[in-house]
A = this chain, B = another copy of it.
Amino acid sequence: MTKITSILVSVAALSLAACQSSSPEQKEDAVAATSDPLILAAREQFEPLPDGPAKIAGVKSTPEIIALGTALYFDPRLSASHSQSCAGCHNMGLGGADARPTSLGHRWQHGSRNAPTVLNAAYNMAQFWDGRAKDLAEQAGGPITNPVEMAMAADQVVPTLKSIPGYAGMFTSAFPGDQDPIRMENVQAAIAAYEATLVTPNAPFDRFLKGDGKALNETQRRGLQAFMDNGCSACHNGVNMGGSMYAKFGAVSAPSADLLPPDDLGRFAITKDDADSYSFKVPTLRNIALTAPYFHTGKVWSLDEAVTVMAKSQLGEALAPQDVSDIVAFLQALTGDQPKTVIPALPPVDGSSKQPLD
C-alpha cells in the first residue's frame, strides 16, 4: 500500500484541479451525508458527473449554437466523399465510439488508433490519445481534414457549407454578431458546444458517490475497493475516471508488441521529450462497458483482459481472477444515462452545391 499512498497524494491534487474546473452550481447537490466508509473513501478520489452540459471555459453555448453543432456533427458533407460524419466513428449508439479496433476513413483507409469516446470528452484535459488538441473545438477541426479520416480539403470545408443554402441562416442565428459567420472557427466552436452536451450522468457509481451505498452491489463494492487498493485510481480518477493526465503504457512492464506497437510513440510525437515515449492520455473509464475494443490499438475486446493487462503493465501486478471480475463488475457501474440525440434534419443541397468526390 505504501507506493499507492504516494501516488494518491498527486491524485488528490489532480482531483482538486478537476473540481475547480467545474462550476459551483454543478457540484452543489452532489454530496449527501453518509457514514458508509467506502463512499467516504471513494469521494477522496472521484466525483459524480454533473447533470447537464459540461461548461467549458471560453466556449459559448446557446440553443442556436448547439443546434448548428448537432447538424454539423451529423453532416456527412463535411467529408470529401459526403459519406462520413463525426457521428460515424463517434456513434451515440455505441457509447460515443465505434465498434472497430480502428476506424475506417476515406477510401477505406484504416485509422492509426482506436476512436476514443466523445461522451464526457469535455471533461478531459486535452483531446486525442496524445493530447495534441487542447480542447474539443481544436479537436473538431482534426478529423474533417485528416486525409485518413474525412479527408476534406482544408480550403473546401467552408465553401461546401456555404454552397448548402440552409446553413447561412443557421450560422447567422448561432453567431448573430458575425458578419461572415460560416468560418472554420465557428464550425469547430459549434461542434464543441454540441459535444459538451454529450454527458452521461446518473451511473450507478455517481449515485453511490452522492450517498446511495446500495447503488453498487456487493461485487461492485469489492471491485471499487480493489480498484483503489491496487492503484488503478492513481490514473483513473476525478470526475471523468481518467482524462486528467498522461501515462506511459508499460510503466512497469511493457505489454506485447501488438498492444504497444513500437512505431507509435504516443505523446513523444507531440512533445519530442523522451520522457513521453509511449505515453498516452489516460482514457476515461466512464461507459467503458460500451466501448470495446480497448487501448489505443483497439486489440483487446474483453474488459477482463483489459484489466489484467493494465494491472500487469502499469502496476506490475498479477491480479487474482476474483479481483479482476470484481473490478470488471465495478467498471460496469460506470455506464451512465446515454445522450438522447434526435437525428437532426440537415439543410438540403441544391443544384449549385458542392458535390462529393470519389
Contact = CB atoms under 8 A, between A and B. Distances in A.
B91 A104 contact: no
A108, A303, A305 interface centre (most CB from chain B within 10 Å): A108
Contact of A93 (B75, B98, B290, B350): B75
A93, A291, A340 interface centre (most CB from chain B within 10 Å): A93
Given A83-B88, A93-B343, A343-B92, A99 B356 contact: yes
Chain A interface size range: 35 or more
Contact of A351 (B93, B303, B355): B303
A94 interface: yes
A81 B108 CA distance: 10
A54 to B, nearest CB: 20
A346 B92 CA distance: 9
Nearest to A300: B351
A292 interface: yes
Contacts of A98: 76, 82-83
Given A81-B100, A93-B346, A343-B92, A305 B338 contact: no
A82 B301 CA distance: 14
A353 B100 CA distance: 12
A290 B99 contact: no
Nearest to A94: B346
Contacts of A290: 345, 348
Interface string A329-358: 000000000101111111011111101101
Given A342-B341, A342-B342, A305 B99 contact: no
B355 A301 contact: yes
B99 A74 contact: no
Interface string A275-304: 000000000000001111100000001111
Contact of A302 (B76, B82, B289, B351): B351
A118 B338 CA distance: 26
A95 interface: yes
A75 B342 CA distance: 16
A64 B340 CA distance: 18
A190 to B, nearest CB: 16
A109 to B, nearest CB: 9
Given A351-B305, A355-B301, A104 B92 contact: no
A207 interface: no
A108 to B, nearest CB: 4
Interface of A: 71, 74-77, 81-83, 88, 91-95, 98-101, 103-104, 107-108, 289-293, 301-305, 338, 340-346, 348-353, 355-356, 358
Given A83-B104, A107-B108, 10 more contacts: A77-B99, A93-B343, A94-B348, A104-B358, A108-B108, A292-B350, A302-B350, A303-B351, A341-B343, A342-B343
The 9 closest A-B pairs by CB, nearest first: A302-B351, A108-B108, A93-B346, A82-B99, A92-B343, A338-B345, A290-B348, A340-B342, A301-B351
